[in-house]
C-alpha cells in the first residue's frame, strides 16, 4: 500500500514543482508591470500625437513624452499601466502617492508561450491624502511569449 502511495506522490510532486518553476520563471513580467505603474513618462499613442494642433500640450519641460505605436499584436506594457498617462487629472509622480499591490494569480506556459493572470489594486492620492484615482482587485490576463531569452507580452486583457 505504501509503495502505491509513493508512486502516486511522485507525479503530484513533480507537477507542483513545475507549477512553482512556471510562476518564478515569469518574475520579469511582474517587475515590468510594476515599473510601468511608477513610470514618470507620459505615453501618447502615435495616432493622437499632433504637436502642430496643440503645441503647448507637449511643451512642458517637466514631462518626458514617449510616442508609441498602438499595436494590438505587441502592446506596450508601460503605455497600458502607466498611472500618469491615464489619469483624468494630469499627474506628476513627484506630486502624488501611489499605493500599488500586484498579485500573481496563476501562470501557465510551456517555457516559450503562455498566459499569466494577475490582479492589482491601485490607489493614487495627493499630498492631502485625497484620492485622485483608484482601482481595486482588477483582474488582468497577459498572453506572453519568450523571444531571444526575454518574456514579451503579446496581448493584455484587463477586465473593465
- Can you give the CATH number for the domain in which 41 is found? 3.10.450
pTM: 0.81
The answer to whether the CB of 43 falls within 8 A of the CB of 66 is yes
- What are the residues whose beta carbons fall under 8 Å from the beta carbon of 71, sequence distance 6 or more? none
Assigned C-alpha cell, 18: 513545475
pLDDT digits (tens, 9 = 90+) for 68-97: 887 766 788 988 888 776 655 556 667 788
- The residue length of the chain stands at 160
pLDDT of 141 strictly over 70 = yes
Give the chain's mean pLDDT: 84
Q: Transcribe 125-157 into DSSP letters.
A: E-TT--EEEEEEEEEEEEEEEEETTEEEEEEEE
Find the mean pLDDT for residues 96-116: 92
Give 150 or 57, the one with higher predicted confidence.
Answer: 150
The boundaries of the domain holding residue 21 are 2-158
Give the gyration radius of the chain's Cα atoms: 20
- What are the residues whose beta carbons fall under 8 Å from the beta carbon of 124, sequence distance 6 or more? 83, 87, 91, 96, 97, 98, 99, 131, 132, 133, 134
The answer to whether the CB of 98 falls within 8 A of the CB of 57 is no
pLDDT digits (tens, 9 = 90+) for 113-138: 999 999 999 998 888 888 888 899 99
Confidence of residue 34 (pLDDT cuts 50, 70, 90): very high
Find the mean pLDDT for residues 10-32: 88
CA distance 11 to 5: 11
pLDDT of residue 131: 87
Confidence of residue 1 (pLDDT cuts 50, 70, 90): low
Q: What total of structural domains would you count in the chain?
A: 1
Percent of the chain with pLDDT strictly greater than 90: 34
Give phi and psi for 130, each to the nearest 5: -85, 135
Amino acid at each position: 500500500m505504501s509503495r502505491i502511495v509513493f508512486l502516486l506522490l511522485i507525479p503530484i510532486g513533480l507537477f507542483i514543482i513545475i507549477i512553482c518553476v512556471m510562476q518564478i520563471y515569469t518574475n520579469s513580467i511582474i517587475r515590468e508591470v510594476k515599473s510601468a505603474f511608477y513610470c514618470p513618462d507620459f505615453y501618447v499613442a502615435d495616432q493622437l500625437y499632433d504637436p502642430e494642433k496643440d503645441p503647448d500640450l507637449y511643451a512642458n519641460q517637466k514631462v518626458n513624452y514617449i510616442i508609441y505605436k498602438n499595436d494590438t499584436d505587441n502592446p506596450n506594457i508601460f503605455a497600458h499601466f502607466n498611472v500618469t498617462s491615464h489619469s483624468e487629472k494630469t499627474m506628476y509622480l513627484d506630486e502624488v502617492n501611489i499605493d500599488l499591490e500586484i498579485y500573481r494569480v496563476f501562470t501557465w506556459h510551456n517555457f516559450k508561450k503562455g498566459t499569466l493572470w494577475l490582479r492589482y489594486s491601485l490607489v493614487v492620492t495627493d499630498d492631502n491624502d485625497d484620492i485622485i484615482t483608484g482601482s481595486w482587485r482588477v483582474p488582468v490576463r497577459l498572453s506572453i511569449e519568450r523571444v531571444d531569452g526575454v518574456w514579451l507580452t503579446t496581448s493584455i486583457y484587463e477586465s473593465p
